[in-house]
């Protein structure tokens, strides 16, 4: 790579950027699927918030959430990976993916609470700010990953920087064990990233 | 019986969070105590109340939605406070600081 002339290197960068963009464009969902997913999610939210299961509530809620879902269809579902049929996707998401993720995060939150209580009682902290790399690119995926890192034991996300070869996270770690980025990433991220890579890209 | 365990867990976690806010040395480590213990404590208390309340099932579903919003919003606020403190110039008391290496 050192002997490549300058114009060729810029050309390679341009081709790689266009390849990433086309990959992103080909993995987008079709228009009506995004509309349907947003509508179903908003309808469930409406039913729980109003707590009104009569015919009048349904007749008021269906068009209202439909109008909102038509305008807001890009916000929620822009980053979902294009994989299967709509019904299979929704069933997989609601029955398998979400409960497993919630149970994993609940136990990690319990562990982190006990760890912070132990640190507050004993005072044995050795803080530091380390840098780790993830393979996720989309905004929603990186947001959920950063929130999960904040809730896991002993870590707090400070900043996110997007580069071309991946996304880098700066993490404030209350008890630094290693400075190697790969090992630190394995310890900090755990299996949350594998979970997020199944749905977001 | 189960809801008593959840309520006691929530109250003790709130107490340890306040203790951590008093005892830790700088902004970022105090944020650790504030974020995690508040999230866990509030979620424990709200979940215990949702088990204990004498209400129809849809009201309990509302409390569960509230629990999900607590878990989503609390880390975002802590991240905003940490980044704002760093931009303002509060130096962390740390052993390594890779953020200062990359953004001099």
Q: Spell out which residues of chain B touch residue A151, defining contact as CB-CB under 8 Å.
A: 35-36, 39, 71, 75
Q: Spell out which residues of chain B touch residue A112, defining contact as CB-CB under 8 Å.
A: 36, 40
Q: How many CB atoms lie within 10 A of CB B92?
A: 21
Confidence of residue A2 (pLDDT cuts 50, 70, 90): low
Could you tell me the residue ranges of all domains in chain B? 1-91
Residue A116 has its nearest CB partner, among B33, B59, B100, at B33
Full strand arrangement of the beta sheet holding A166-173: A128-134, A166-173, A155-163
Do residue A150 and residue B78 have CB atoms under 8 angstroms apart?
Answer: yes
The pLDDT value given to residue A123 = 78
Could you tell me the residue ranges of all domains in chain A? 6-76, 93-198
* Residues A83-112, mean pLDDT to the nearest whole number: 81
Residue A131 has pLDDT above 80, yes or no: yes
Do residue A109 and residue B36 have CB atoms under 8 angstroms apart?
Answer: yes
**What's the residue count for chain A?**
201
Residue A4 has pLDDT above 80, yes or no: no
Q: Spell out which residues of chain A touch residue B39, defining contact as CB-CB under 8 Å.
A: 109, 151
Q: Spell out which residues of chain A touch residue B56, defining contact as CB-CB under 8 Å.
A: 51
pTM of the shown model: 0.81
Confidence of residue A84 (pLDDT cuts 50, 70, 90): low
| Interface check B29 vs A, CB under 8 A | yes
* ipTM of predicted assembly, 2 dp: 0.84
Residue A51 has pLDDT above 80, yes or no: no
Do residue B36 and residue A159 have CB atoms under 8 angstroms apart?
Answer: no
Q: Spell out which residues of chain B touch residue A116, defining contact as CB-CB under 8 Å.
A: 16-17, 20, 32-33, 36-37
Confidence of residue A183 (pLDDT cuts 50, 70, 90): confident
Confidence of residue A82 (pLDDT cuts 50, 70, 90): low
Residue A117 has its nearest CB partner, among B16, B86, B95, at B16
Do residue A131 and residue B59 have CB atoms under 8 angstroms apart?
Answer: no
pLDDT per residue, tens digit, chain B (104 aa), is 888 998 998 899 899 888 888 888 888 888 888 888 888 888 889 888 888 888 888 888 888 888 888 888 888 898 888 888 888 888 878 777 777 777 76
């Amino acid at each position: 790579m050192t002997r490549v002339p300058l114009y060729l290197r810029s050309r390679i960068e341009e081709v790689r950027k266009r390849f990433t963009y086309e990959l992103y464009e080909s993995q987008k969902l079709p228009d009506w699927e995004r509309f349907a997913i947003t509508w179903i999610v908003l309808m469930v939210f409406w039913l729980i918030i109003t707590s009104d299961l009569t015919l009048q509530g349904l007749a008021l809620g269906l068009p209202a959430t439909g109008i909102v879902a038509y305008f807001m269809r890009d916000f929620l579902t822009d980053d979902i990976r294009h994989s299967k049929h709509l019904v299979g996707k929704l069933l997989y998401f609601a029955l398998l993916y979400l409960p497993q993720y919630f149970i994993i995060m609940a136990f990690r939150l319990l562990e982190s609470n006990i760890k912070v209580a132990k640190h507050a009682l004993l005072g044995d902290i050795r803080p530091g700010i380390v840098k780790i790399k993830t393979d996720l690119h989309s905004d929603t995926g990186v947001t959920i990953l950063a929130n999960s890192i904040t809730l896991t034991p002993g870590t707090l996300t400070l900043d996110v920087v997007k580069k071309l070869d991946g996304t880098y996270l700066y993490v404030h770690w209350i008890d630094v064990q290693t400075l190697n980025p790969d090992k630190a990433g394995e310890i900090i991220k755990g299996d949350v990233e594998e979970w997020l890579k199944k749905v977001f890209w | 019986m189960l809801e008593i365990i959840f309520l006691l867990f929530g109250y003790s976690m709130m107490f340890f969070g306040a203790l951590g806010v008093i005892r830790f040395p700088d902004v970022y480590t105090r944020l650790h105590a504030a974020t995690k213990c508040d999230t866990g404590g509030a979620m424990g208390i709200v979940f215990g109340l949702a088990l204990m309340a004498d209400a129809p099932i849809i009201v309990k579903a509302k409390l569960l939605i509230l629990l999900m919003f607590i878990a989503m919003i609390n880390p975002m606020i802590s991240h905003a406070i940490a980044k704002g403190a760093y931009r303002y110039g509060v130096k962390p008391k740390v052993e390594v600081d890779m953020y200062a290496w990359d953004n001099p």
